[in-house]
């Protein structure tokens, strides 16, 4: 019997062309595996396309809830944002995809896993770090790095290669954006975005929503309920987290929320420019932040900001299955014990406007914070505090004055 290879299969032109390439260059039996993390109608027609291209079998693993509950929500709790803008949509999905590829490889007794990520991108790092962490014995094949055997450098060449192998597929050679989609977001790269001097062609580009200019003239107010840092209800209706994100994508999309144009630093060292649509995720992250500022004490909130930044770096770099990520997440979870409450926001033309936050664990005390005198705070106490807090400044100023007089 032939050895088997598991191909991470999206159904696009690249991974479709990889099927006959694997059979031709490795003589493997190709088992395709598509991991559904909420990419919607991109899954249509995959089974027929995979078999037409020469695959022996196709797995479609529907794991949206696992993706959201075990990968997305920990990032929300951490406040993980890469380089102040990117909400890690693609980054969060890669480890769970790698995990499922390994599971199918074990089930099929495969000796290798193949992915279609390019040699310039982040995804090759994320996929391969995940596979190495979970199955160090498996061989990894990355066609775009196989210069001796992978000769195709354009869509036209890939289409010609498929036709030469008797595969007639509904792809054309017209260029389009390079996109990655899941329940959390959709990314766009290529075309005019490759030159940072160009403005994005939003009329041609956007998939999940509209620009703020095209959003309704009236704002839309919603409420989100959290329990221990995780969202549990939208507008008072309890539902699982994946459903909340799905509905927030619709609401946020029509109000022009969550469109980010960023030049980011890739793991491999280069800068790349892309546009991300994350309408639901942007709302969820902002609501969670508003709730935390009411509940977490000053020191924890400040320290957690640094942890969130590090968590984002770890996820972006594909280091999900590491002791560091586990340790960071353990800290984050300990901070979320009392992050419970309701957040109301108004969505208006790309803006998320605070409308009120309540929590049984709020550290805001009106008696202390009020400008009128409260019984828990004595204004006279501030004098001694300031004298001690500023003592080092005063001592230094006295020293400087004494030296000037000499």
Give catalytic residues, as residue numbers.
14, 94, 123, 178
Who's near 1: CB < 8 A, 6+ residues apart?
Answer: 29
CA dihedral 75, 181, 85, 279 (to 10 degrees): -90
298-316 and 89-108 helices, crossing angle to 10°: 50
Residues composing the chain:
406
DSSP per-residue codes, 255-277: TT--EEEEEEE-TTS-EEEEEEE
- Give the distance, in angstroms, between the CA of residue 344 and the centroid of all CA atoms in the same chain: 24
- Both tokens of residue 177? 């954006």
- Give the distance, in angstroms, between the CA of residue 113 and the centroid of all CA atoms in the same chain: 23
**Going by DSSP bridges, is the β-strand pair 230-234/220-227 parallel, antiparallel, or unpaired?**
antiparallel
**Going by DSSP bridges, is the β-strand pair 341-348/220-227 parallel, antiparallel, or unpaired?**
antiparallel
Residue 406, classed as helix, strand or coil, is coil
Residue 301 and residue 292 in contact, taking contact as beta carbons nearer than 8 Å: yes
From 255, 209, 262, select the one nearest 86 (Cα to Cα). Answer: 262
Residue 116 and residue 34 in contact, taking contact as beta carbons nearer than 8 Å: no
């Amino acid at each position: 019997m032939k050895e088997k290879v598991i191909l991470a299969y999206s159904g696009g032109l690249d991974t479709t062309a990889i099927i006959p390439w694997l059979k031709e260059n490795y003589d493997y039996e190709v088992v395709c595996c598509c991991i559904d993390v909420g990419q919607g109608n991109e899954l249509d027609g995959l089974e027929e396309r995979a078999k037409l291209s020469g695959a022996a079998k196709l797995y479609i693993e529907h794991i949206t809830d696992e993706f959201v509950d075990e990968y997305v929500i920990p990032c929300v709790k951490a406040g993980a944002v890469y380089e102040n803008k990117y909400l890690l949509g693609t980054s969060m999905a890669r480890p769970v995809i790698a995990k499922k590829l390994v599971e199918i490889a074990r089930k099929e007794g495969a000796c290798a896993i193949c992915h279609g990520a390019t040699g310039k991108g982040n995804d090759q790092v994320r996929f391969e770090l995940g596979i190495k962490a979970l199955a160090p014995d498996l061989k990894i094949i990355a066609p775009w790095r196989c210069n001796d055997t992978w000769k195709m450098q354009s869509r036209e060449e890939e289409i010609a290669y498929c036709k030469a192998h008797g595969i007639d597929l509904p792809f054309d050679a017209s260029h389009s954006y390079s996109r990655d989609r899941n329940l959390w977001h959709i990314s766009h790269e290529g075309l005019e975005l490759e030159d940072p001097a160009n403005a994005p062609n939003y009329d041609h580009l956007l998939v999940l929503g509209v620009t703020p200019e095209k959003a309704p003239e009236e704002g839309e107010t919603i409420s989100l309920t959290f329990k221990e840092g995780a969202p549990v209800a939208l507008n008072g209706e309890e539902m699982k987290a994946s459903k909340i994100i799905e509905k927030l994508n619709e609401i946020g999309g029509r109000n022009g929320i969550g469109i980010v144009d960023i030049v980011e630093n890739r793991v491999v060292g280069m800068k790349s420019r892309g546009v991300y649509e994350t309408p639901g995720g942007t709302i969820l992250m902002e609501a969670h932040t508003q709730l935390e500022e009411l509940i977490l004490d000053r020191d924890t909130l400040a320290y957690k900001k640094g942890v969130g930044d590090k968590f984002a770096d770890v996820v972006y770099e594909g280091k999900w299955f590491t002791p560091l990520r586990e340790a960071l997440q353990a800290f984050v979870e300990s901070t979320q014990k009392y992050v419970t409450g309701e957040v109301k926001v108004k969505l208006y033309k790309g803006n998320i406007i605070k409308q009120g936050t309540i929590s049984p664990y709020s550290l805001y005390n009106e008696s202390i914070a009020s400008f009128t005198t409260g019984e828990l705070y004595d204004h006279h106490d501030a004098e001694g505090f300031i004298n001690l807090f500023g003592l080092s400044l005063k001592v230094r100023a006295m020293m400087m004055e004494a030296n000037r007089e000499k």
